[in-house]
Structure 1
Amino acid sequence: MSQVPAATRALRVLRFLATQADPVPLERIMQACELPRSTAYHLVNAMIAEGFVVHLADERRYGLGIAAFEVGTGYTRQGPLQRIARRPLAQLVDRTGHSAHLAVLHGRDVLYVVEERAPGRPPLVTDVGVRLPAHLTASGRAILAHLSSSQVRALYPDRTVFVDRTGVGPQSPTALRAVLAETRQRGHAREAGEVTAGLSSVAAPVLDHNDHPVAGIAITYPAGEADVGRLADAVAATAALLGRRLGGR
């Protein structure tokens, strides 16, 4: 049990509001955060005074305030995920002899934020700042496989949103669902020649304290040159380490 219950409740309210698409009535906050009405009322008013919550009086709803936005942008400026990931990725490269990278989901793309190259290995397109279609990459599939079906459906509503690079890979929502189901069953994600002909990748998701996939870690190697099971175990161990450092289980 927390020794600072008021702080715990305030953080619970912030986390709940951050997951909502629109501002919500006080009753929703009460139910989601298991707060009595008087406690919820006084708590959100204190958070309004500090700028973390805004009250839309005409709508009788509450949403995130500017201070919450400042906290989020502060996180982005400090880049803690990149700082936490760099050394474990370098160790992963040393252990496996193959290049490794960390990517985050950005719409229907993955954005590469950390890249560790293995000496003497083939050049890759996955440099820092590069975006690639998430449904074709192992890191993207590792992330997508841990999203809800409704989130995946919102990202990939029909065939028109699918692109390809080498002529292979899922080109419909049905095909993507099959790939993600296989990924979940296998316990890690794979792609073979779908980003770059002749190269394959294996990946695992980095899960936070809510089991939400905040990133994907992948190793890329020449097709047929590696023990995929061994690489998958190494990637999963590194992803689990990062997840624990982010407060995950």
Structure 2
Amino acid sequence: MSGNVPASTRTLRVLTFLATQPGPVPMERIASAVGLPRSSTYHLLRAMIDEGFVVHLPEEKRYGLGVAAFEIGSAYLRHDPLERLARPLLAQLVAEVGQTAHLGVLHGRELVYLLKEQPPRPVTLVTDVGVRLPATLTASGRALLAALPPAQVRALFPSPETFVRRTDQGPQTLSQLRRLLADERQQGFAIEESHVTAGVTSVASAALDHAGHPVAAISVSFRSDAIAPGERFLLARRVRQAADALTRRLRG
């Protein structure tokens, strides 16, 4: 890379490179990918860490995308096209299952609700459009986290202080979150009961882009006593079908 390339261009190239990786990478790979000397790469990464766009994993000597980078990506996803693609799928889902459905995206460590479709007599929920909740406590947030590389999840939740408690339920450490995400990844959907609101259960599944990265999650929320545990699998399968349909729409 020429020495007269603006710092802003170098920064964007680093972000673009990190976004294409399955997880955090060593500095040497970043320097090679963007054509910078090791010393220049180090100083650039330090500045990006200070602004929250890059996170450093010292034990592994690797660098990955930081929370600020996820916030930028989430802001893009909140634009109209995603909502237009998802809205008819949510409306159809609500008509079939008779429960409230949401579309949500990750915003750093939080889950942001973009759309909400309700049946004629909906359950009162805190999950309205624009509301942010801890991603680890919501079914939608965990469905998205389960589709991220494990190293990126570790970068988002590096310490116990990054976990939030609302109803004394839900994961409180990275090891607890990892086990939960592994189970939910295997079953193809996430489920939470009373983690956000006592007596309310949600199931969710993630929609993926062309590269297999999670873009948004579709969820259904209902009173826990309204649907028997044995019937929740059927509901979760229908939610997964809606998320798969959104995946196909996103991939064109």
> What is the TM-score normalised by the length of structure 1?
0.72
Contact 1:101-1:217 at 8 Å conserved across structures: yes
Contact 2:104-2:217 at 8 Å conserved across structures: yes
What's the counterpart of residue 232 of structure 2? 228
SS at match of 1:115: strand
Instruction: Indicate whether 1:28 and 2:29 are aligned.
Output: no
* Deviation for aligned residue 1:180: 0.5
What's the counterpart of residue 244 of structure 1? 248
Contact 1:112-1:131 at 8 Å conserved across structures: yes
What's the counterpart of residue 107 of structure 1? 108
What's the counterpart of residue 153 of structure 1? 154
Contact 1:101-1:218 at 8 Å conserved across structures: yes
CA offsets 1:2-44 (integer angstroms, 9 cap, x no match): xxxxxxxxxxx9995472799966x5269xxxxxxxxxxxxxx
RMSD, matched Cα: 3.1
Contact 1:16-1:29 at 8 Å conserved across structures: no
The one-letter amino acid of 2:136's match is H
Cα distance change, pair 15–83 in 1 and its aligned pair in 2 (3 A): farther
What's the counterpart of residue 122 of structure 1? 123
Counterpart mapping for 1:40-79 below 5 A: 78-79=79-80
SS at match of 2:203: strand
* Deviation for aligned residue 1:145: 0.4
Counterpart mapping for 1:174-189 below 5 A: 174-189=175-190
How far apart, CA to CA, are the structure 2 residues paired with 1:155 and 1:74?
17
* Deviation for aligned residue 1:186: 1.5
How far apart, CA to CA, are the structure 1 residues paired with 2:103 and 2:219?
7
The one-letter amino acid of 1:157's match is P
What's the counterpart of residue 19 of structure 1? 19
Identity %: 46
Cα distance change, pair 80–174 in 1 and its aligned pair in 2 (3 A): same
Contact 2:77-2:215 at 8 Å conserved across structures: no
* Deviation for aligned residue 1:74: 10
The one-letter amino acid of 2:19's match is T
* Deviation for aligned residue 1:194: 0.4
* Deviation for aligned residue 1:224: 3.2
The one-letter amino acid of 2:137's match is L
Instruction: Indicate whether 1:197 and 2:198 are aligned.
Output: yes
What's the counterpart of residue 45 of structure 1? none
SS at match of 2:181: helix
How far apart, CA to CA, are the structure 2 residues paired with 1:222 and 1:73?
29
* Deviation for aligned residue 1:187: 1.4
Contact 1:109-1:131 at 8 Å conserved across structures: yes
Contact 2:74-2:107 at 8 Å conserved across structures: no
* Deviation for aligned residue 1:190: 0.3
> What is the TM-score normalised by the length of structure 2?
0.71
The one-letter amino acid of 1:243's match is T
SS at match of 2:130: coil
What's the counterpart of residue 162 of structure 1? 163
Q: Say how many residue pairs are matched.
A: 201
CA offsets 1:66-91 (integer angstroms, 9 cap, x no match): xxxxxx89956852101111111011
Which structure is higher in RCO with an 8 Å CA cutoff and minimum separation 6? Answer: 2
Cα distance change, pair 172–117 in 1 and its aligned pair in 2 (3 A): same
What's the counterpart of residue 219 of structure 2? 218
SS at match of 2:222: strand
Cα distance change, pair 78–191 in 1 and its aligned pair in 2 (3 A): closer
What's the counterpart of residue 63 of structure 1? none
Unaligned runs of 5+ in 1: 1-12, 31-54, 61-71
